[in-house]
């Protein structure tokens, strides 16, 4: 009798799974980077199309923050990330096509924003998080800005230098919210309303840890010739050693890892962290590289 019940249970499990497979591939949610938009045909639009070609029938949602493309770009500079997260979490929770789970793929700052989605909004569940050039320990400099936004970047640089951690700058400048000053870790820890929070710098939120650990894989792509992210080590969750801005340390050397405040050490030991390198400048890769290295995590 007991045996029979087990067989029935096993069948339910097997059929449950195959049902899900019949419903099609797992959807993909994309969050674009700074100065970009959901649907630029040369960036996220092209990525969406490529994924749709490689995985027939997949539902790809490229997030648009705001009502128009122009607003979406503007918001990537000037709309409080914590408020963006509220909007995105609500959108994902309401989307009937995502309810069985999805994979997430963030580009540049979209990488750390999607990690915040995992940590704060466990439903619907994300299976794999792929961070492409995301800055998980923040940045300390904007050596170069993408595309035509260089005048905005000059202004951002000046503003950050004047007072990145003041309340008014924090609430209105996205890049200040992941600005990480290694010369003054205490200011960062106290003042950063986004990154210091999700990196458990002020206190430990056990649900952040538990939710992040529910991922199957957390894939981090670092660009070996990155000229836009300072330091590029942040793309693998490394950063400058505290107190100076020349010598960097790896994730594994950081106290975040050794104290395991976010559960990353445990994930690393379980083989859930994947560190990938791409040989180009920020966000530059070929279709071939993408298909060989990223596509396997989207199935």
Q: Least distance (Å) from ligand NAG to the CB of residue 37? A: 27
CB of 54 to ligand NAG, least distance (A): 34
Q: Identify whether 233 is a catalytic site residue.
A: no
Nearer to ligand NAG, 40 or 211 (CB): 211
Cβ proximity of 134 and 198 under 8 Å: no
Binding site for ligand NAG (CB under 6 A): 120, 167, 187, 190-191, 205, 207
| Strand (E) or helix (H) holding 204 | none
Of 36, 72, 197, 226, the catalytic one is 226
Whether 282 is catalytic is yes
Closest distance of CB 167 from ligand NAG, Å: 5
Q: What's the gap between Cα 267 and its chain centre?
A: 16
CA quadruple 146, 152, 153, 155: dihedral, nearest 10:
180
Residue with smaller CB distance to ligand NAG, 92 or 298: 92
CA atoms within 13 A on the CB side of 173: 24
Least distance to ligand NAG, CB of residue 91, Å: 16
Q: Quick check: 41 and 81 in contact, CB under 8 A? A: no
Nearer to ligand NAG, 149 or 184 (CB): 184
| 99 neighbors 124 (Cβ within 8 angstroms) | yes
By beta-carbon proximity to ligand NAG, the closer residue of 35 and 191 is: 191
Q: Does the annotation count 172 as an active-site position?
A: no
- Active-site pick, 32, 136, 180, 282: 282
Nearest residue (CB) to ligand NAG, 190 versus 214? 190
Largest CA distance in the chain: 74
Q: How far is the CB of 124 from ligand NAG (least distance, A)?
A: 15
Strand, coil or helix: what is 137? coil
Please, what is the end-to-end C-alpha distance for the chain in angstroms? 38
**62, 76, 108, 254: the active-site residue:** 108
Q: DSSP code of 179?
A: B
How far apart CA 167 and CA 176 sit, in angstroms, is 10
Nearest-angstrom CA–CA distance, 214 and 211: 5
Q: How far apart are CA 136 and CA 238, in angstroms?
A: 8
Cβ atoms of residues 98 and 63 within 8 Å: no
Element (H, E) at 269: helix 264-269
Q: Structure tokens of 190? A: 């106290």
Pick the closer one to ligand NAG by CB: 144 or 187: 187
Q: Which residues are catalytic?
A: 108, 226, 282
């Amino acid at each position: 009798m007991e045996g029979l019940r087990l067989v029935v249970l096993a069948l339910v499990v097997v059929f449950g799974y195959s049902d899900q497979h019949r419903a099609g591939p797992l959807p993909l949610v994309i969050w674009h980077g700074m100065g970009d938009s959901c649907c630029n045909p040369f960036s996220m639009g092209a990525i969406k199309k490529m994924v749709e070609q490689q995985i027939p029938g997949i539902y790809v949602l490229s997030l648009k923050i705001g009502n128009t493309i122009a607003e979406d770009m503007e918001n990537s500079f000037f709309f409080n990330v914590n408020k963006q997260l509220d909007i995105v979490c609500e959108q994902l929770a309401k989307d009937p096509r995502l309810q069985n789970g999805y994979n997430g793929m963030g580009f540049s700052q979209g990488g750390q924003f999607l990690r915040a989605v995992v940590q704060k909004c466990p439903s619907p569940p994300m299976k794999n998080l792929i961070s492409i050039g995301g800055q998980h320990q923040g940045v300390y400099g904007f050596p170069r800005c993408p595309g035509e936004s260089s005048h905005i970047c000059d202004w951002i640089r000046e503003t950050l230098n004047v007072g990145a951690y003041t309340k008014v700058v924090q609430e209105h400048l996205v890049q200040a919210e992941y600005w990480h000053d290694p010369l003054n870790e205490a200011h960062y820890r106290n003042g950063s309303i986004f990154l210091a929070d999700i990196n458990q710098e002020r206190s430990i939120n056990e649900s952040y840890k538990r939710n992040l650990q529910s991922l199957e894989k957390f894939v981090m792509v670092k660009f070996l010739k990155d000229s836009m992210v300072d330091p590029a080590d942040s793309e693998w969750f490394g950063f400058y050693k505290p107190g100076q801005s020349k010598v960097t340390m790896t994730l594994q050397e950081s106290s975040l890892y050794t104290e395991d405040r976010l559960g990353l050490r445990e994930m690393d030991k379980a083989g859930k962290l994947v560190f990938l390198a791409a040989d180009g400048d920020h966000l530059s890769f070929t279709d071939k590289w993408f298909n060989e290295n990223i596509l396997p995590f989207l199935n």
